[in-house]
Structure formats: structure tokens, C-alpha cells
Amino acid sequence: MGTLLAFSRAIDWVTERVGKLVTWCVLIAVLISAANASVRYAFNTSSNAWLEIQWYLFSAIFLLCAGYTFLRNEHVRIDVISGHLSKRTQAWIDIVGTVFFLLPMAIIIGWLAWPFFLDAFERHEMSGNAGGLVRWPVKLLIPIGFALLALQGISELIKRIAFLCGRIPDPTANAPGPHGDPAASEHV
């Protein structure tokens, strides 16, 4: 179990770094959006490339930060019932959900997205919009994003099993809630 927990910590470290790096895409997207709007209104001109780079950045934020969101326990949950259950039962629900839903979904989507990316890369696929961008980089985000999500799912699975075995405290107890507040993660 010690080796698996070390592997889990390594995955968490990678996920944390990717998440923090990708959050800069939010600022970049806002700056590009503001500049594009300013140029459009001031000079009555625009470029599809600037619009598409905003879409690409949003895609990067959404896909590459899915694992980061999962790590920080800020993903969508329905706590109406599970919030009233014991921490051990919640851990079992997380294990079942991860094994039977999250991991198969992430692996299948990542697997199916790979040929989608390869086709775009091999054909040098370009946007259908005038002045648009090459498409393969944004299509590559799909398998990468789902691979990162699957890795984080494995990390969370290891932590839940370790918790049930009494090797670590509840992994969700110190997870920051909304806006990074650890107290906000408590079930209401």
C-alpha cells in the first residue's frame, strides 16, 4: 500500500502542477477576448483566429483541469443522500463510482479521441473559418485531458482504499471546498 500511496502522491503532484499552469489560460483568454473586442469596436476589424484561440484556451481549461477539479474535490456531487452516510460508506460509493463509471468513461473517451486527433494531425486539418487555426492541437487536448482525469481517478481510488484500510485519514476531510476554503467542503 505504501508504494501505491507514493504513486498517488506523484499523480496528485502532476495534477496540481498542470492545474495551476492551466489556470493561467483563464487570464490569457480574458486578455485576448478584451483585445479582440477592443480592436473590433475601435477599428471595425476582427480575426477568426483570435476567436478560435479563445475557444482553444477554454477547451484547455475545461479538459486539462478536470483532474485538478477532482483532486480538490470540487467536482459536481449529489450529496442529498450520501451527505448523510458515514465516511466509510461515502468512500465505498466513491470507489464504485470511480471503478464502474469514471475510469471506463475516461479511458473509452480518451481511446476514441486518439484517432480523432491523429486524423486531424495527418491531414493538417484547418478550421473551416477564414483565417482560422490548425485543429490538431485542440483535438490533442481531448485524449490528454481524459488521460489526466483517469490518472487522478486512479489516485483517488488508491486514497479511498487506503482510507478504508486505515492507512490514511479521510482524503476528503482536508479537501478545499469552493473558493479554497477547507471548511466549505463539509457536508451541510
What is the tens place of the pLDDT at every residue in 117-129?
A: 999 999 999 888 8
Predicted confidence (pLDDT) per residue in 11-44, tens digit: 999 999 999 999 999 999 999 999 988 988 888 8
Residue 182 reports pLDDT greater than 60? no
Between 131 and 73, the higher pLDDT residue? 73
pLDDT at 186 over 50: no
Say whether pLDDT at 185 is over 60. no
Q: How confident is the model at residue 184 (pLDDT cuts 50, 70, 90)?
A: very low
Q: What pLDDT, on a 0 to 100 scale, did the predictor assign at position 2?
A: 87
Coil, helix or strand at residue 134: strand
pLDDT at 153 over 50: yes
Q: What is the pTM of this model?
A: 0.84
pLDDT at 176: 57
Mean pLDDT of the chain: 88
Residue 172's nearest CA partner among 91, 93, 96, 97 is 91
DSSP string, 80-117: HHHTTS-HHHHHHHHHHHIIIIIHHHHHHHHHHHHHHH
Could you state, in order of their start, the residue ranges of all structural domains in the chain?
2-72+85-172
Poorest-pLDDT segment among 14-28, 49-63, 66-80, 150-164: 66-80
- The whole-number average pLDDT for the span 51-60 is 92
pLDDT in the model for residue 147: 97
Question: What are the residues whose beta carbons fall under 8 Å from the beta carbon of 146, sequence distance 6 or more?
Answer: 63, 66, 106, 107, 109, 110, 113
The pLDDT of residue 142 is above 90: yes
Question: CA 177 to CA 185: how far, in whole Å?
Answer: 4
Grid cell, residue 44, equals 471595425
Burial zone of 41 (CB within 10 Å; 0-12 exposed, 13-18 middle, 19+ buried): exposed
Residues 165, 155 contacting (CB under 8 angstroms): no
Residue 137 confidence (pLDDT): 93
